Chain A
Amino acid sequence: MVDWRLFEPLFNWARKKSLWIVSFCTGCGGIEMPPLMTARYDLERFGIMPDPSPRQYDLFLITGYVTPKTLKRIIITYEMAPDPKYVLAHGSCPINGGIYWDAYNAIKRLDLYIPVDVYIAGCMPRPEAVMDGIKKLMEMIENGEADGWKRYKENYEWYRKNQDELLGEGWREKEARKWIPWLMDKKKEEGT
């Protein structure tokens, strides 16, 4: 067998140079994503491309406040991606709740539920700040410090416990079944 560890520097360089972003726009920060991609602050210079599929991305931008309802989707999207994947939390809300510190349905610390590699403060951060954060992430990828995906695997019990505490045990199944009674009712209505 070939020892793939020999090629690790090459792969790290490639990972750094081609971060694909999943277009998951949460909160207000979603409005900061299009300017990053368009003509003025062109992020494609660094090989970054928005991509709508959760299977192909490497960089997950959490752009703002996260409600429990969104958190379920975020966790599922995070777990769907194959392994080297990085999370960049963008804005004050994922750090400590931001201006929603007393809201009953905003997550106060994103780090309790999925591992975050880089934070950018600001409400909302300028595109330059996001670019700065991405540059920091690139450096971290190069020296192998961006290991959120590794932490998620190693401390899965802890993350799982936090998620279950917030969203309730078995939330995945519940979320999938949520619409079935409604659909049944709908069918009955149409039938009569």
Chain B
Amino acid sequence: MLGAVLKAIFIILYATFVGFMFMGIIRKVTARIHRRIGPPIYQPIIDTIKFFGKRENITHGLIYDFGIIFALGATILALMFIPLGSISILRTYGDLILITFLLEIPMLGIMFAAMSSGNPWAGLGAQRALLTLLAIQVPLGFAIIALAEFYGTFSTYEIVMAQQVGGWSIFHLPLLLVAIAYDIVLQAMFGKEPFDMMIAPGEISLGPMVEFGGKHMGMLQIQHAIGLFAETLFFANIFLGGAVVIAFSSPILNTLATLGILLVKQIAVLLIAIFIGAIFPRFTIDQAVKFYWKWPTIIAALGAILASL
């Protein structure tokens, strides 16, 4: 019992720290792409401290506060189900549908809070975010079907173990197609550029985030950090082979090696997202929905059909 609690605390702390570093990497790499120097890599941590150091707080009622906590809680819960090498606590229950579902719940929490603020920009952003959420379901569903069909199981941990034997998922043609579709979906889940209609800085002010200041924004920063970590970790687990290292004799060395390998894979996923995000302009919402129901769906459906043959 105590061990599980300690593990959970470790996972949360590690995910928060690494997630903040990921946010820093996003800003730093984007700056380097623009030939700027960019902020220091620990900048998101400073931002968060600043948000928690605000003297005043604005609140628009109970749902406004609750939505943020709901989003943060759902992200943490999703993280608990994803196998982080050998140190996850609920990994036996972590099946694909559950995790995919939990990774989308935070968006709903933010929507609750945004809608209850009564700001028209937030309402507009919420509408767009829900439409995006609707659009990505189709390729996402096909991706999950293909994975389950190929490995014959829904359990993420068993998929990771199967990849230890049979090679990474992306080296099998049907799953490679699915991985491509999933990577396009990931762009919308990160809120990165071609599909960041729900936030749309400059176009609709900040969308759902427009009304959050002070501590609410600080919580959202933490939520974003953990969300980034969880989404990249999930991708690395189901497509890039995860990592369960048993090469060393001491368990601590094994754990460290696992975390290191996972980190490299996660950063690879993140870098692809940054490169795409830095060079593509934003879609309008109707184009994005049309796009998601066309190309990623076709690719993922093809993968699913090939996987079931």
Q: Which residues of A contact B (CB under 8 A)?
A: 7, 10-11, 14-15, 17-18, 20, 38-39, 42, 44-47, 49, 51-53, 55-56, 58, 81-84
* Cβ contact within 8 Å between B50 and A14: yes
Nearest 3 Cβ contacts at the A-B interface: A55-B213, A11-B53, A83-B55
By a CB distance below 8 angstroms, the chain A residues around B264 are none
A-B contact pairs, 28 of them (CB 8 A): A10-B49, A10-B53, A11-B49, A14-B49, A18-B46, A18-B50, A39-B35, A42-B37, A44-B31, A44-B37, A45-B39, A51-B201, A52-B202, A52-B210, A53-B209, A53-B210, A53-B212, A55-B58, A55-B212, A55-B217, A56-B206, A56-B212, A82-B56, A82-B57, A83-B54, A83-B55, A84-B54, A84-B55
Give the nearest-CB partner of A20 in chain B: B47
- The residues of A that contact B202 with a CB separation of less than 8 Å are 52
> Interface extent on B, as a size class?
20 to 34
The reply to whether B58 and A82 contact each other, CB–CB distance below 8 Å, is: yes
In the assembled complex, the Cα of A52 lies from the Cα of B125 at a distance in Å of: 14
Instruction: Give Cα A34 to B266, complex, Å.
Output: 33
- Name the prevailing secondary structure of the B interface residues: loop
Are B27 and A52 touching (Cβ within 8 A)?
no
Q: Which residues of B contact A (CB under 8 A)?
A: 27, 31, 34-40, 43, 46-47, 49-51, 53-58, 201-202, 205-206, 209-214, 217
List 17 other contacts, CB 8 Å, given A10-B49, A84-B53: A15-B50, A18-B46, A44-B27, A45-B37, A45-B38, A45-B39, A52-B201, A52-B206, A53-B209, A53-B210, A53-B211, A53-B212, A55-B212, A55-B214, A82-B54, A82-B55, A82-B214
Question: Contact at B212–A38, with CB atoms within 8 Å?
Answer: no
State the Cβ distance, B200 to closest chain A Cβ, in Å.
10
Bound complex: CA A58 to CA B214 (Å): 10
Which residues from A are CB-within-8-Å of B214?
A: 55, 82
Q: Is the CB of A55 within 8 A of B36?
A: no
Is the CB–CB distance between A11 and B50 below 8 Å? Answer: yes
